[in-house]
Structure 1
Amino acid sequence: MNPSQAPTPVAATPADDEGKLNDAWLVERTRRGDQAAFGVLVRRYERKLIRVLARLVRDPEIARDLAQETFWRVFNRLDRFDTGRRFGPWLFRVGVNLGLDHLRRGRGEPPPSSLDRGHGDDGAPYDPPDPDPRVQAELSQEVHFILAQLPVSYRTILVLRDLEGFSSSEVAAIVGRREATIRWRLSKAREKFRQIWERRQDAAREAATEG
């Protein structure tokens, strides 16, 4: 190839234009030794990956460590990645598996802390609109507490689908299950969440009445 026709190094790409770069192209550039290309992928997915892991393992510091390990593993496996597949679900599958491995090792989970509000696509009960930040904080802790009561397989799907907005097909790719299985588990997870939510709301109303 004539040097004048060679692709522009990613490092020379203005930050505002990074969003136009295709994941598969960035993977291929990384394979050819363009480290800046992988840097674009990290910037593109890092915040969301940390957020997913923090909601899964309930510890921001551990989530950051797991995210760092995820990118390290992905970088070292790029030669085996099929660019005909989507990079994002593959990355999150590696990350979620690391998070699940962490939970299986039984390191325990910290007390409930703040959790960003979700955006369930079916009017799920954990996303009622309320402009009061104090109420939002209480609601976030309640959501986090209830998520912790769910089996980890259900919690994972709720976090990915309803809190992070991945499609059912993307969740299927991330957790390595059929899309029909994901839809079934999502329905069950939402129902279990709703049951716990309603029980706690009823208990809170009874306590307020007795008080």
Structure 2
Amino acid sequence: MSPAAPSPAVISPTLVAEQVSLTYGEGETAVHALDQVDLRVDGGEMLALMGPSGSGKTTLLLVLGGLLHPSAGSVRVAGQDLGALSERERALLRLRLMGFVFQSYNLFPALTALENVQLALELKGRPLGEAQTLLHQVGLGGRLKGFPAQLSGGEKQRVAIARALAGGPGVVLADEPTAALDSTHGLAVVQLLRQIAHEHQRAVVVVTHDPRVGEVADRVVTIRDGRIAL
């Protein structure tokens, strides 16, 4: 698989979290989902976030993407402090610089696989023809006209991955991207994410329980009880 050409506007963004904490509740009932997390991911690097269920991996991914606001600390993407941006500015930054792969796929049910990816490209002002290339890269060249209800869980996950890569985002955040995939397609997706990171200087963060991801990633960071395990 060879990834599509990156957007010329993307220049090796760095993802930096400094002393990030997220607490739910107060006093004795407070739950510390994240506790003083420091993390840096450079363009050209694929990082695997691993740890037991409930350790804070997905929470950290959402904070890195500006979808959750930390109680303390800061997150910078390409030098921009997410906490200093308005909701609209954060949304525009995500559109311009980030691609997300969610566990729940979040595909539009009334759109085909091809149209789901084309919509992301249209929002980013990119040629719609890239959608077909991306779907071929994730092994769905024969399912372009399939609606989400007609696709298997693994196929829907691969559509979501193609959509996340639409427009050449500088940062890719993926939550368990191989969970619904068989071993062949899972390994192919992991290798594609690593290739994209290396060849196009993108920062790729993958939350996973899959040891294959850890083996392919440039670096593995383990989270336990909301903290980076040293």
Name the TM-score, length of structure 1 as normaliser: 0.28
Q: Name the structure where strand makes up a greater proportion of residues.
A: 2
Q: TM-score normalised to the size of structure 2? A: 0.26
- Structure (1 or 2) with the greater helix fraction: 1
Greater relative contact order, per chain length (Cα 8 Å cut-off, separation 6+): 2
Structure possessing the higher radius of gyration over alpha carbons: 1
